A and B are shown apart, each in its own frame.
Chain A
Amino acid sequence: MNKGKMKKGKTNTFTRRDFLKGFGSGTLGVAITPKLLAQKAESIQTKAGEVPVYAKKQIKFTVNSKAYTKVVEPQETLLDVLRDKLSLTGAKKTCDRGECGGCTVLLDGNPIYSCMYLAIRADGTNIKTIEGMAKEGKLHPLQQAYIDKDAYQCGFCTPGFIMASEALLKKKSNPDLGEIKKGLSGNLCRCGNYTKIYQAVDQAAKAGRS
């Protein structure tokens, strides 16, 4: 099970991001945090010694056809930036470690787990989130298909699934059931409505061809 969970562009970020993001836990954090936070904690002793601190960085990127310039911290993930700085809360924080696909967005057309992607790496990229799928109030065929087939229950994983579906159909416009299953295998739906999700992707694929 969980086959094909790691998608393109997701594997090589883990160590680095895990290291940086992890500075909330472990002795390492005690060493670097006083530099970023206020000075009151400076007196805390640590065995870890000095660790290089990455500076904040200004990045420019496009999200849903809109250009943004944002100053991000090195440990911030793309998911955090989308949700906290851009108020795009469609992508969800579900596992926060690349296991479930609830945060899936498209980066230069490829599906990524935005919780595993450092924001500083998004500099110069083109990102599409669930909020960019409908055009001028008209739903994307995938969105309509998810409604028609009731391809959700609680709806929490739905934005991630729709983005993964979009990536799948861009790559393969006429997928069979096996290809749909594989294409969505990086996303988890705990309510367990996969059967309906397959039907929705199939409907959207057919709509795209007609």
Chain B
Amino acid sequence: MEKKDSRYAMEDSNLWYETYASDQTQHSSEALSSDSDKKFKLIGKHIKRIDGKKIVTGKAPFTQDIKLKGMLIGKILRSPHAKAEVLSIKLDVAKSLSGVKAAILMIRGNIQYAGQMVAAVAAVDEKTADKALELIKVEYKPMPFVVIEEKAREEGSPQVHDKRPNVEQRRGYSRGDVEAGFGKADVVIERTYKTAVEIHQTAETHVSIAKWQGERLTIWDSTQAIHSVRDQLAEVLQIPASRIKVIKQYMGGGFGSKLGLNEQTVAASMLAKETNRPVKVMLTRKANSLCVGNRPSTFQTYKGGVKKDGTITALSLLSHTSGGIRGGDRSSEPMIDVHKCENAKVEDYNIYMNTGPSKPTRAPGLVQGTFGLEGFIEELANEIGMDPLEFRKKNYTTKNRGGTGIPYSSKGLDKAYEIGAKQIGWHKRNKVPGEGKGRIRRGIGMAAGIWWGAGSPGTLADVKLHPDGSVEAVCGTQDIGCGTRTHMAIVTAETLGLEPKDITVKLGNSDYPWAPLSGGSLTTPSVAPALRDAALKAAEHLKGMAASKLKVSASSIVCENFTFQEKGNPKNATPFKEVLGDLSHEIVFHGERKGLPEGYAYNTFGAHFAEVEVDTMTGMIKVIKVVAVHDSGRIINKLTAESQVIGGITQGLSTALFEQRIMDNETGRMVNPNLRDYKIATSMDIPEIVPLFVDSVDPRINILGTKGLGEPPRIPASAVIANSVYNAIGIHIREIPMTPDKVLQALKEKEVAR
């Protein structure tokens, strides 16, 4: 499993997910639908978080808040140059400063982007560490660089990697015969869509604390992936993984940027080793904007053929993407899978440039690809004068690969279309895009989305019972804000007839049973079934113990209301605590999230509908309402699920309207590495949001029928706004963020063309 966890570092930042998904089908298959029609008391209800009190009182220990005895403050020196040879580094003066305990080199080879780590120091306080950084003398020999995609693509532009061209072909895709498909079409159009580089901008900047005790290393890390950090750190430091423990209790946002080992963890570990004291390294907002990842930009050219009756005959995509010095995102997934189409082809290229390396960003590739594809779908529908919802229904498929692959285990997208259209008032939309009059134009649009999210077979979890009647749920997963602690308590309590608050949940420690990183919508469909498995085993054992007390067979006992009772005869009952009291010592039950039956595709789906207003005078877009309908199988906790959907929509709106990294061609630096100039959606931008779920349970995905929900609400959330703007003004803004200048420019062009 370690191998899989480290895949975040692969060139395609989103390839990891698909490789993971296809691997899952190779696991053993067994009937897993035993719980699929169960009526639950807790699962699927609105349950408040069990750790809410800690959060609202400021007591939740985020890594930033942890202070160890004798702890030093570590700081990182970064390159001001986008590309340079490091001729010399002098650490002596810095080391001689009183209060400085260590200064070490952190660079091998040349500088590849502005902000790259060069050296690190540890000192008694922040002020001294900052001072020490200034006393490090680095001699750079600046080299030609390129930080703009269009320039990197030009012939003769400075080469970013020694052994790779700046434009490098990636794995493509092909099925059927697209040329033949275009030949059969009544209409063939081609359109290009662009998306900007986006920065995660997590609330808590990346921070790690390292503490050595002899040969053992403990890391407190703001991470989404305790096991990955452990394994990757072991590789970097060349020590056994068994000697490293990674702890993460609370983390201030990750969105993919904290999916594995980050540089500050390595720096903290090395500085702590050197000084023999605990060291904390916390990145600044600026460093967090430059060095910990980003969502790659994309340039997507779609060509599509359609018959007058709405049949899509062929789709092709030529994609360019830039993840800086690392590879970009694959934006082709929506086109390959979502709508029925026999003939499809993808050509895909990386553009390398001297900017910070990409990392998965909530729904990597799919946010960009859905903006492109779903925008193109609207334009295709408009070409043949068809309602875009009817167009999507016409091309609906229950098999993957556009209807040419294997059946989806479950797909509730059709229901999502139905519910969402009704909720938004689809009939109120402009029948012809832009037909409204006046300065303020209203429009209604939609977009569909697909994601994986089946979870990781092999996930382990324990239920531990104590003779005093207390119960633990233990799993080496992490709660990154989705409410995983509460999910674990809900599943365990549901199974044992208790309340969530009765369960002591333990997570966020790499010494606990293995669970995957918290990314890719993996957590709930991995952890919840594993815990359910463990709790069912515990319940079975306890029923056996209760059977002799109740003088009935174990099979006729149920766990309910803190008791074990005879089914249909609740008076014949014994308290839960009393049964546990008969244990001579603690007892542990191991649960596992089993494999996925072969022959099916396991995906999540969602459809968003939005209403917007466009001010044709100022170019400002105001989102009025968003309705999101998701098929993520059985929802474990409606309350936290709604929050997750609302968050995905807010972030998607932010991507659609505001977010872009701006690079300076002259200096090679990012000009907006802060929260003032890097615009994100704020309180004033939030529309009415209606989060809804298709009431479905996947029949075979796992014993709870639950699928992931982390990525899905983020996926159609930007596309839906662009499509609504199209309906409002009759012009498709094919570039996000749709800033007012772009809207005004598009309106002007339309005026000129008239």
Q: Indicate whether A and B interact.
A: yes
B53 at the interface (CB under 8 A from A): yes
A147 contact from B52, B126, B250, B285, Cβ within 8 A:
B52
Contact residues of B between 195 and 216, Cβ < 8 Å to A: 201-205
Q: Are B682 and A92 in contact (CB under 8 A)?
A: no
Contact pattern, A 72-109, Cβ under 8 Å of B = 1, otherwise 0: 01010000000110011111111111011010000000
> Are A193 and B647 closer than 8 Å at their CB atoms?
yes
* Given known A-B contacts A37-B99, A154-B480, A190-B253, A92 and B52 have beta carbons under 8 A apart: no
**Chain A residues near B681 (CB, 8 Å)?**
1, 192
A207 within 8 A of B: no
CB distance from B630 to the nearest CB of A (A): 16
Does A191 contact B647, Cβ atoms closer than 8 Å?
A: yes
Q: Does B427 contact A (CB under 8 A)?
A: no
Q: How far is the CB of A47 from chain B (nearest CB, A)?
A: 14
B90 CB → nearest A CB, Å? 13
A90 near B684: Cβ-Cβ < 8 Å? no
Closest chain-A Cβ to B618's Cβ sits at a distance in Å of: 13
Instruction: Establish whether residues A92 and B53, one from each chain, have CB atoms under 8 Å apart when the complex forms.
Output: no
| B3 lies within 8 A of chain A by Cβ | no
B253: A residues at CB distance < 8 A: 153-154, 156, 190-191
Check A96–B285 contact: CB distance below 8 A: yes
| Chain B residue at minimal CB-CB distance from A30 | B134
Chain A: minimal CB distance from B432 (Å): 31
Q: Given known contacts A41-B135, A89-B65, A195-B689, is B654 in contact with A158 (CB within 8 Å)?
A: no
A92 x B203 contact (CB < 8 A): yes
Least Cβ distance of B610 to chain A in Å?
14
Instruction: Check if B674 sits within 8 Å of A99, measured CB to CB.
Output: yes
| Nearest CB in chain B: distance from A34 CB, A | 9
CB distance from B84 to the nearest CB of A (A): 20
Determine the residue in chain A with the shortest Cβ distance to B128: A37
Q: How far is the CA of A148 from the CA of B56 in the complex (A)?
A: 11
Interface check A12, CB cutoff 8 A: no
Q: How far is the CA of A133 from the CA of B59 in the complex (A)?
A: 12
Contact A146 B52 (CB under 8 A): yes
Please, which residues of chain A bring their CB within 8 A of the CB of B203? 92, 94, 100, 102, 154, 156-157, 188-191
Check A25 against B62 for contact (C-beta < 8 Å).
Answer: no
**Contact, CB under 8 Å: A154 / B250:** yes
- What is the bound-complex CA distance between A158 and B450, given in angstroms? 31
A24 contacts the other chain (CB 8 A): yes
Let me know if A194 and B650 touch, CB within 8 A: yes
* Minimum CB distance partner of B123 in chain A: A37
Minimum CB–CB distance for A44 against chain B, Å: 7
How many whole Å from A15's CB to the nearest CB in chain B? 16
A156-B650 contact, Cβ under 8 Å, with A3-B684, A190-B253: no
Across the interface, B647 reaches (CB within 8 A) one of A83, A147, A153, namely A153
14 interchain pairs (CB within 8 A)? A44-B93, A83-B65, A93-B64, A93-B282, A99-B676, A100-B675, A144-B56, A154-B250, A155-B481, A185-B684, A188-B203, A190-B201, A190-B202, A193-B650
15 other A-B residue contacts (CB within 8 Å) besides A182-B683, A191-B203 = A1-B682, A33-B131, A73-B127, A83-B65, A87-B67, A96-B285, A131-B58, A131-B59, A133-B57, A143-B56, A147-B55, A150-B49, A156-B62, A190-B680, A193-B646
